[in-house]
Amino acid sequence: MRGLLVGRFQPFHLGHLAIVSEIRAAHPTEPLLLGIGSAQISYTPENPFTASERMEMILLALEEAGLGGTIPVPLLDIDRHALWVPYVASLLPRFERVYTSNPLTRTLFEASGYEVVDVPWTNRAEWEGTRIRRSLATGTDWRGAVPPAVGRYLESLGAPARLRLLGEAPRPPGGGSGPLP
Amino acid sequence: MRGLLVGRFQPFHLGHLAIVSEIRAAHPTEPLLLGIGSAQISYTPENPFTASERMEMILLALEEAGLGGTIPVPLLDIDRHALWVPYVASLLPRFERVYTSNPLTRTLFEASGYEVVDVPWTNRAEWEGTRIRRSLATGTDWRGAVPPAVGRYLESLGAPARLRLLGEAPRPPGGGSGPLP
Amino acid sequence: MRGLLVGRFQPFHLGHLAIVSEIRAAHPTEPLLLGIGSAQISYTPENPFTASERMEMILLALEEAGLGGTIPVPLLDIDRHALWVPYVASLLPRFERVYTSNPLTRTLFEASGYEVVDVPWTNRAEWEGTRIRRSLATGTDWRGAVPPAVGRYLESLGAPARLRLLGEAPRPPGGGSGPLP
Amino acid sequence: MRGLLVGRFQPFHLGHLAIVSEIRAAHPTEPLLLGIGSAQISYTPENPFTASERMEMILLALEEAGLGGTIPVPLLDIDRHALWVPYVASLLPRFERVYTSNPLTRTLFEASGYEVVDVPWTNRAEWEGTRIRRSLATGTDWRGAVPPAVGRYLESLGAPARLRLLGEAPRPPGGGSGPLP
Amino acid sequence: MRGLLVGRFQPFHLGHLAIVSEIRAAHPTEPLLLGIGSAQISYTPENPFTASERMEMILLALEEAGLGGTIPVPLLDIDRHALWVPYVASLLPRFERVYTSNPLTRTLFEASGYEVVDVPWTNRAEWEGTRIRRSLATGTDWRGAVPPAVGRYLESLGAPARLRLLGEAPRPPGGGSGPLP
Amino acid sequence: MRGLLVGRFQPFHLGHLAIVSEIRAAHPTEPLLLGIGSAQISYTPENPFTASERMEMILLALEEAGLGGTIPVPLLDIDRHALWVPYVASLLPRFERVYTSNPLTRTLFEASGYEVVDVPWTNRAEWEGTRIRRSLATGTDWRGAVPPAVGRYLESLGAPARLRLLGEAPRPPGGGSGPLP
């Protein structure tokens, strides 16, 4: 039996790590798939990091925490809710249990016969993606909300400068096409 | 000669039925194509129902009303206004007359040489998609705005619960990908 | 050596012409590529004109101004920032220098090793796309912000009526699909 | 309960008509969906007719034969076998029974829980798509293999000349892009 | 008035140059659009060069020949014959005359009301794409079939080695995905 | 430092396992990414298994062999050779070394600055995908060419029957659309 946890991981933070840790402790012999949603989106205020960078964060954080038994997989969007569950099932190895706190995700997977388990967030006031992205952009403290290895990696990427730039710049048309509307 | 009426039919309501009925009465020997727009979108607050469910509603309502001579066809979006008319024409059997009250739709079809006729809405204050979706979500009366057969079908789908859920849930990233931003 | 200037050119106005003129004067032997971004979008309030119409405006304006040495190319969006630079490079003839005032465009091209030069806007208060589109829609003066040949062309297209219509009409679902939400 | 029969209908011939007739006779109260596969392909030797033209043929043939109770629907390809059944189910109104003589189609639908019934071909030696397309191209008799109304329609399209042209012409690159390889 | 000549230009050779030269001489005041078909395909035996490289060849050859008045534009495939003409028309500036020797291209453009003119090939036995690609792969003489500037450019790309490699290598699955079938 | 090995793994056989084993032994501290190419294709004679099934095979085989340190990732095709390397790099965590025996894959990665290492096949006469798929279809021995766990899994899938069916059935049009050409 395997489980699936889907997120965007923009970035991978201590809230994610706590959930993975808890699930692994509860089911030590069941591999956990980590689906990296919206894998094709990057360099936007809501999705600043590429799938490659998010894979990197996850691998760094799990190694640092000594957590094995997870399988991270990037998932490109298909933008069709009615096909999303069979699409995911066609790419990932078989899984039976889905962890989510989103009611639509719950509905779609339950309608396809999966067991759905509520995700127990920890310290949600501070370990939360939107808040961390805002902190990166504004320069207030964000290091305390991510695993140390992720913190070092984000520094090496110049993440604070990237978030600042994405917050200020008008969205260029055309997937980055430019400046001259 | 055939006519075309394009809508999203989210859901198919008494306003749609009145229009179809009026067109059929005015042109009893001319089949009417019903193009179901944005067929690939579902499970969003503005587009809660799949194309399959919308096809079902249309078939139920027309049978209940004893209205024949219509041909419902799902139309996937192509998101290119400049190609939309030839795209539709490449999928549907030949039609000459388009019913619409949207000025852009009128412009695009007229530019391609089609006859465009204004759609005469009836009781627009109550028979209107946005209003009906809101009523479904809030639990205020919506049964009076849809044909009885559509009402029963929407109940069987659990439509009120679905609309409530879609209104409350944050849009999951990745076409339904999940809960962990 | 060649340069690249990317814009949406909705429409091509005097600000664009001034930039092209200045770049050509500074580098008279270097051809300048004009990438027409979001080429697939048209008939929206922000992107009213087709790529075909924008190509036409550019050719008319450059001929009127006696400006040679430019190569206009429509660029369809791919909506993936992380692939946008190699995508553009796979379609355009080799270029080394990119003109932009958008910080994200700068970041993406610099990360791929291109020289990036800031675009010197002229008379930005009046020669600016959003403002010109609004003037077209409201009937206030817009002729003074575009080259004369573009002005005549926009009149021949019925551009003021089109902008007015796009501002008023609800966006039809389905890439132009219609009137019956 | 409804049935589904999927074909490309290139063109719709007497074999198709016999099958539809037989299914309708066996289940007179059950509507039959006619899925028009590969709807986006046309002007190739194997797929000479557009979805629009195939819809037209089906409507003409069924009206001529006095066969009601069918619902023709164009189906664009998605080119992913593993998602094909849920894709079709998301577009068509609910159906429970699938008619097919293709073993893969049988396998895919059975794996999703549908009842699959073998299609009883009639006079397969003459009423067969490949053979009819070849006859159209070579000028040997094809009228005897299609319903009279389809025959007249194919003549009005200039179908024999089109098939001859498609057989002779090298496939233009780029979906019709041209002559200069 | 403008003309359109569509080709894949794999590579741009003396046959292409002769055609362009002849059209320009016949209509010296009419710009000629050069549509580069299948722009997204490269590194295959039939389509060895990227759109970028083909743009480069065209610019080099036309400059060398002193031929002005042409506008080269890359055209990504859409793989739908029934939409190809409106697709091309939505991207290119207005044109009225199409040069082609492909009967399907002729049919599609004529059906949309364009004037179509037959392309007068010169020395077709030697100046022909398939033959030149084979010569590049096998090391027999190809320099005599392309303009001198294109010849130098192809050498600088290592074109003979690329063609040899593409002829020998099994097509990697997945758009270049690899070696382990 | 990490390595990348891309294959289709249709199915994952002893040749793949030997390569992974050898690479892991040579670089025990470097994780190895396994890119599963053409992830979206399944149920064809050349690509019989879904990405999900191939992920399953890889996990089973590596666990059975006690091989850790690998990261399998499904890769959807983009069908553009010129963008394939940046596409892969945008999805996978950073890697520096690519293992391949395909000369085009080598060329594309080397052009982007990657170190490319030749893959040392073992017992290529028997451990080879095409040969194994043929054996599955014809019922000759294939168990000896795959890891025992993969053999049991293939039996549980009914792989021999699937390959036989795919070899016999005409390819249904429309990504599985059906039986009635």
pLDDT tens by residue, A137-179 = 999 999 999 999 999 999 999 999 999 999 876 555 444 433 3
D174 vs E contacts (CB less than 8 Å): 6, 8, 37-39, 75, 77, 84
Nearest to B175 among A7, A81, A102 (CB): A81
Q: Is the pLDDT of residue D109 over 50?
A: yes
Tell me the pLDDT band of B177, cut-offs 50, 70 and 90. Answer: very low
Q: Is the pLDDT of residue B112 over 80?
A: yes
Q: Is the pLDDT of residue B120 over 50?
A: yes
Q: Is the pLDDT of residue E100 over 60?
A: yes
pLDDT > 70: percent of chain C: 93
Say whether B178 and A130 touch across the interface (CB within 8 A).
Answer: no
**Residue ranges of chain A whose CB lies within 8 Å of a chain C CB:** 40-44, 50, 52, 162, 165-166, 168-170, 172-181
**Nearest Cα residue in chain B from D90:** B52
Q: Give the position of tokens 């002779």.
A: D168
Q: Is the pLDDT of residue E179 over 60?
A: no
CA-based nearest distance A128→chain F, Å: 23
CATH of domain D3-167: 3.40.50.620
**Nearest Cα residue in chain D from E101:** D179
Nearest to F103 among E42, E168, E180 (CB): E168
Let me know if domain E3-168 sits in CATH 3.40.50.970.
no
Q: Residues E144-170: pLDDT tens digits?
A: 999 999 999 999 999 999 999 998 765
Q: What is the C-alpha separation between B145 and B141, in angstroms, rounded? A: 8
Asked if F37 contacts E177 with a C-beta cutoff of 8 angstroms, the reply is yes
CA-based nearest distance A90→chain D, Å: 7
Fold of A3-169: Rossmann fold (3.40.50)
Q: Closest Cα partner for C135 from C158, C160, C169? A: C160
Chain B / chain D CB contacts < 8 angstroms: 51
The mean pLDDT of chain E is 92
Interface test with C, best of F90, F92, F94, F109 (most C CBs within 10 A): F90
Using CB atoms, which chains have 3+ pairs under 8 A with D? A, B, E, F
B83 vs E contacts (CB less than 8 Å): 83, 86-87, 90
Q: What is the mean pLDDT of residues D124-150?
A: 96
Chain B / chain C CB contacts < 8 angstroms: 99
Asked if A64 contacts A148 with a C-beta cutoff of 8 angstroms, the reply is yes
Q: What is the C-alpha separation between C7 and A180, in angstroms, rounded? A: 4
Would you state the pLDDT for residue E134? Answer: 97
Asked if E127 contacts E70 with a C-beta cutoff of 8 angstroms, the reply is no
**Nearest Cα residue in chain A from F87:** A40
Enumerate residues 6+ apart whose C-beta is below 8 A from D27: D1, D3
Tokens of F164: 């036989």
Q: What is the C-alpha separation between F91 and A74, in angstroms, rounded? A: 7
Q: What is the mean pLDDT of residues C73-95?
A: 96
B108 vs E contacts (CB less than 8 Å): none
Q: Is the pLDDT of residue E174 over 70?
A: no
Asked if F99 contacts F83 with a C-beta cutoff of 8 angstroms, the reply is no
Q: What is the C-alpha separation between C105 and A53, in angstroms, rounded? A: 19
CATH of domain F3-166: 3.40.50.620
Would you state the pLDDT for residue A120? Answer: 79
DSSP 8-state class, residue F66: T
Question: Are chains F and D in contact at 3+ CB pairs closer than 8 Å?
Answer: yes
Asked if F52 contacts A94 with a C-beta cutoff of 8 angstroms, the reply is yes
Say whether A31 and F76 touch across the interface (CB within 8 A).
Answer: no
Q: Residues F22-57: pLDDT tens digits?
A: 999 999 999 999 999 999 999 999 999 999 999 999
Pairing of strands E3-7, E32-36: parallel
CA-based nearest distance B78→chain A, Å: 13
Would you state the pLDDT for residue F1? Answer: 87
Q: What is the mean pLDDT of residues B146-160?
A: 98
Would you state the pLDDT for residue F174? Answer: 41
Would you state the pLDDT for residue C74? Answer: 98
Tokens of F111: 């052009």
Interface test with B, best of E76, E83, E84, E108 (most B CBs within 10 A): E83
Would you state the pLDDT for residue B179? Answer: 33
Interface test with F, best of C85, C90, C112 (most F CBs within 10 A): C90
Q: What is the mean pLDDT of residues E130-137?
A: 97
Q: With H, G, I as helix, E, B as strand and everything else as coil, classify residue F105.
A: helix
Would you state the pLDDT for residue C172? Answer: 55
Pairing of strands A97-100, C3-7: unpaired
The mean pLDDT of chain D is 92
Would you state the pLDDT for residue C181? Answer: 37
Would you state the pLDDT for residue C120? Answer: 79
**Given its phi and psi angles, is residue C74 left (phi above 0), alpha (psi -120 to 50 degrees) or beta?**
beta
Using CB atoms, which chains have 3+ pairs under 8 A with E? B, C, D, F
Tell me the pLDDT band of C102, cut-offs 50, 70 and 90. Answer: confident
Q: What DSSP line would sit under A69-127, residue for residue?
A: SEEEEE------HHHHHHHHHHHSPP--EEEE--HHHHHHHHHTT-EEEE---SSTTTS
Pairing of strands D115-118, C32-36: unpaired
Please identify every stretch of chain F with a pLDDT value under 50, giving residue numbers as ranges.
173-181
Q: What is the C-alpha separation between C107 and C110, in angstroms, rounded? A: 5
pLDDT > 70: percent of chain E: 93
Q: Is the pLDDT of residue C150 over 50?
A: yes
**Residue ranges of chain A whose CB lies within 8 Å of a chain B CB:** 5-10, 15-16, 19, 35, 37-39, 46-47, 75, 77-82, 84-85, 100-105, 107-108, 119, 128-130
Q: Is the pLDDT of residue D171 over 60?
A: no
- CA-CA distances (angstroms) from residue B168 to A118, B134, B137, B162, D122? 17, 12, 9, 10, 55
Would you state the pLDDT for residue D168? Answer: 78
Would you state the pLDDT for residue C151? Answer: 98
**Nearest Cα residue in chain A from B43:** A81
Would you state the pLDDT for residue B40? Answer: 96
pTM: 0.94
CA-based nearest distance C3→chain F, Å: 21
**Nearest Cα residue in chain A from B44:** A81
- B131: burial class by Cβ within 10 Å (0-12, 13-18, 19+)? middle
Q: What is the mean pLDDT of residues C11-16?
A: 98
Q: Which amino acid is at D176?
A: G
Asked if B21 contacts B67 with a C-beta cutoff of 8 angstroms, the reply is yes
CA-based nearest distance D174→chain E, Å: 5
Radius of gyration of chain E (CA): 17
CA-based nearest distance F29→chain C, Å: 29
Would you state the pLDDT for residue A117? Answer: 95
Pairing of strands D115-118, E3-7: unpaired
Say whether F8 and E176 touch across the interface (CB within 8 A).
Answer: no
C6 vs A contacts (CB less than 8 Å): 174, 177-180
CA-based nearest distance D121→chain F, Å: 10
- Enumerate helices (H) and strands (E) in chain F, giving the number of each: 8, 5
DSSP 8-state class, residue B130: H
Q: What is the C-alpha separation between E32 and F181, in angstroms, rounded? A: 42
A93 vs F contacts (CB less than 8 Å): 52, 55-56, 59
Q: Is the pLDDT of residue B119 over 80?
A: yes
Tell me the pLDDT band of D169, cut-offs 50, 70 and 90. Answer: low
Q: Give the position of tokens 């379609």.
A: C91
Q: What is the mean pLDDT of residues D44-65?
A: 97
Would you state the pLDDT for residue E175? Answer: 42
Would you state the pLDDT for residue C24? Answer: 97
Q: With H, G, I as helix, E, B as strand and everything else as coil, classify residue D135.
A: helix
Residue F25 CA from chain centroid, whole number: 20
Q: What is the C-alpha separation between A35 and A76, in angstroms, rounded? A: 10
Q: Closest Cα partner for D12 from D57, D60, D43, D66? A: D57
Sheet order of strands, B115-118 included? B70-74, B32-36, B3-7, B97-100, B115-118
- CA-CA distances (angstroms) from residue E139 to A78, E125, E132? 46, 18, 10
